[in-house]
Amino acid sequence: MFKRRDDLKPFESKVWLSSPTMHGEELKYMAEAYESNWMSTVGVNIDMVEKIAAEKSGMKYAVGLSCCTAALHLCCRLAGERLYGKPAVSHGALEGRRVFCSDMTFDATLNPVVYEGGIPVFIDTEMDSWNMDPVTLEKAFQFYPDVKLVIAAELYGFPGRMDKIKRICEKHGALLIEDAAEAMGAAIDGRQCGSFGDYSAVSYNGNKIITGSSGGCLLTNSIEDANRARKWSTQSRENAPWYLHEEVGYNYRMSNVIAGVIRGQYGYLEEHIRQKREIYERYREGLKDLPIRMNPITTGTEPNYWLSALMIDEAAMCRQVRGEKRALYRSEGGKSCPTEILEAIGSINAEGRPIWRPMHMQPMYRMHEAIGRKGSLRCRTNAYINEIGCVDVGADIFDRGLCLPSDNKMTVEEQDVVIEIVKRCFE
Ligand SMILES: *Cc1c(COP(=O)(O)O)cnc(C)c1O
C-alpha cells in the first residue's frame, strides 16, 4: 500500500482527470432552445454546431448526433455500403469483413465495426507516437490484402502521423475512418484532426476538451453521405406523407438543448487547449528528474494536450502484477509503477487513470487477431516481450503508463501537490 505522508493533505474538492468547464454562453443557447420551444432534435443550435464543427475541422459537412459512438457507427455503415454494397436488412454493412483497428484506444473506437457485423483485427501501437503504428499497418496489408477499411484514433489528443496512415490506406485501396474523439483542435502539419478520414468523428462527451454533456459529429466531404447519415439518425424516414421506411434507421440525432451547450463551448476550444498545454508543460518540467517520459509529441503535430500521461522507464519499474480485475505491486526505493502512482494520486483526492487497456487484451476481443511489427501479438504469453521475441508495444505502454489529473480548472498549487506526490513514489 502507498503511504501518504501527513504534510500533503487531500484536496477539499476533488481534482478530476478532465471535467466539464462551463463559461456561461452554454446556458444562453440552452435558454434560447427552451424559450423558442425547440426542445427536440431540430433547431438553430444543431444547425450552428454542424456549421462550426465543419468549419473548425476543415471538412465540408458535419452531422450532429447523440454521441461520437453513434457517429462512428454511421461512419462504419457508410464505409461498408460504399465498399461492399447495401446489405440485406438482416445483415450489417461489414458482415464477415476484416477491419484494421487501433489497438490501444477506448473500445468505442471499434465496437461499431461489430455493430455492422465486421471483424476487428488489431494493429499494434507505435512507441514513438502512442498511436497506430504505420509500419505494422503496412505489414497487416501484406497479410490481408483484401482488407478495405481502417479505423484509427488519435490518442489523448496527441496525434501520430494520421496523414501517413491515410496514404497507406490509399495505396491499398482502403477507406479510413478517423476517430478524432480525443483530438478536436489538434493538427498535423497545420491540418486539423478530423479531416484525414474518408469519414471522421468527434465527441462532446463530458470529459472531452469541449463538451455538450454528450454529443458527437460525423464529418465528411460528401453531401450525399452527410444526408444519408442524417436520415439514418432520424429513423430513416423517407420523404412521404406517412411513415415510409426503405432502410433500417436509428434514433441517433443530437438534441437541440445539448447542441446549445456545445455551441456555447466552441468559442472556448482554443482557451481549453492553451490551459491543457500549460498543464502538460508543468508536468514535463516538474517531473523532469524522474525516470519517466511524458506522452510523446510527434514531429510536425500540434496536440490539443487533452490528457497528460507519463510512462516509467523500464529500469525504474517496481514489480507490478495485473490480473483481470486486480493489481499488486511491491514498493522499491528509486522505483515505482502505475498502480502505486495511481494510488498515491487517489490518496490526495485527485483522479488519475490507467492507459487504455489494449483491445487485444480485452476478454471480449481475446480471440481476435492482433498484429505487431514482428507478427501476431497472440504469440505473447503474459509478458510484453515473450520468449520468441514478439514485442507488444500496447501492452508495454499499458503496463508502464498512466494518465495524470489534467483538468483545466486545476490550480498551479494543486498541480504542484500532484507533482510532489508522484515524486515521492520514486523515493
Ligand atoms: C470518448 C471516446 C469515444 C466515444 O465518444 P462518445 O461521444 O462518448 O460516444 C470514442 N473514441 C474515443 C477514442 C474516445 O475517447
Angle (nearest 5°) at CA 259 between 258 and 264: 100
Query: What band does 368 get if pLDDT is binned at 50, 70 and 90?
Result: very high
- Span 142-155, pLDDT tens digits: 999 999 999 999 99
Whether the per-residue pLDDT at 379 is higher than 60: the answer is no
- Span 41-99, pLDDT tens digits: 999 999 999 999 999 999 999 999 999 999 999 999 999 999 999 998 888 999 999 99
Q: Give the Å distance between the CA of 277 and the centre of ligand 1.
A: 21
Per cent of the chain over pLDDT 90 is 90
| Pairwise CA distance, residues 390 & 117, whole Å | 30
The response to whether residue 109 sits with its C-beta less than 6 Å from ligand 1 reads yes
Q: When comparing pLDDT for 332 and 156, which is higher?
A: 156
The response to whether residue 151 sits with its C-beta less than 6 Å from ligand 1 reads no
**For ligand 1, what atom is nearest to the CA of residue 105?**
13
Ligand 1 atom 6, closest CA: 68
Q: Give the Å distance between the CA of 153 and the centre of ligand 1.
A: 10
pLDDT of residue 374: 79
Mean pLDDT value across residues 176-185: 98
pLDDT of residue 383: 44
**For ligand 1, what atom is nearest to the CA of residue 153?**
13
Name the strands in the sheet holding 216-220, side by side, starting at the edge strand that comes first in the sequence.
61-65, 216-220, 199-203, 175-179, 149-153, 98-102, 119-123, 370-372, 375-376
Mean pLDDT value across residues 406-419: 98
Q: Give the Å distance between the CA of 366 and the centre of ligand 1.
A: 21
pTM of the model: 0.96
- Span 292-338, pLDDT tens digits: 999 999 999 999 999 999 999 999 999 998 888 899 999 889 999 99
The response to whether residue 67 sits with its C-beta less than 6 Å from ligand 1 reads yes
The response to whether residue 69 sits with its C-beta less than 6 Å from ligand 1 reads yes
The response to whether residue 258 sits with its C-beta less than 6 Å from ligand 1 reads no
Q: Give the Å distance between the CA of 108 and the centre of ligand 1.
A: 6
Ligand 1 atom 5, closest CA: 68
Whether the per-residue pLDDT at 246 is higher than 60: the answer is yes
Ligand 1 atom 2, closest CA: 181
The response to whether residue 216 sits with its C-beta less than 6 Å from ligand 1 reads yes
Mean pLDDT value across residues 130-142: 96
Whether the per-residue pLDDT at 5 is higher than 70: the answer is no
Joined together, the cell numbers standing for residue 203 give 465527441
Mean pLDDT value across residues 331-346: 95
Q: Give the Å distance between the CA of 118 and the centre of ligand 1.
A: 19
Angle (nearest 5°) at CA 148 between 83 and 253: 60
The response to whether residue 295 sits with its C-beta less than 6 Å from ligand 1 reads no
Distances (CA, A) of 10 to 15, 63, 344, 346: 10, 43, 10, 9
Q: Which of 49, 65, 69, 103 to mutate to test the pocket of ligand 1 (most atoms within 8 A of CB)?
A: 69
Q: When comparing pLDDT for 5 and 411, which is higher?
A: 411
The response to whether residue 154 sits with its C-beta less than 6 Å from ligand 1 reads no
Please say whether the dihedral angle defined by the alpha carbons of residues 380, 382, 388 and 389, taken in this order, is positive or negative. Answer: positive
Q: Which of 110, 130, 112 is nearest to 122 (CA)?
A: 110
Q: Which of 156, 182, 193, 359 to mutate to test the pocket of ligand 1 (most atoms within 8 A of CB)?
A: 182
pLDDT of residue 382: 46
The response to whether residue 111 sits with its C-beta less than 6 Å from ligand 1 reads no
Q: Give the Å distance between the CA of 112 and the centre of ligand 1.
A: 11
The response to whether residue 155 sits with its C-beta less than 6 Å from ligand 1 reads no
Query: What band does 388 get if pLDDT is binned at 50, 70 and 90?
Result: very low
Please say whether the dihedral angle defined by the alpha carbons of residues 384, 385, 388 and 392, taken in this order, is positive or negative. Answer: positive
Whether the per-residue pLDDT at 385 is higher than 80: the answer is no
Q: Give the Å distance between the CA of 212 and the centre of ligand 1.
A: 13
Whether the per-residue pLDDT at 390 is higher than 90: the answer is no
Q: What is the mean pLDDT of the chain?
A: 94
> Please, what is the end-to-end C-alpha distance for the chain in angstroms?
15
Query: What band does 267 get if pLDDT is binned at 50, 70 and 90?
Result: very high
Query: What band does 381 get if pLDDT is binned at 50, 70 and 90?
Result: very low
Mean pLDDT value across residues 118-140: 96
The response to whether residue 179 sits with its C-beta less than 6 Å from ligand 1 reads yes
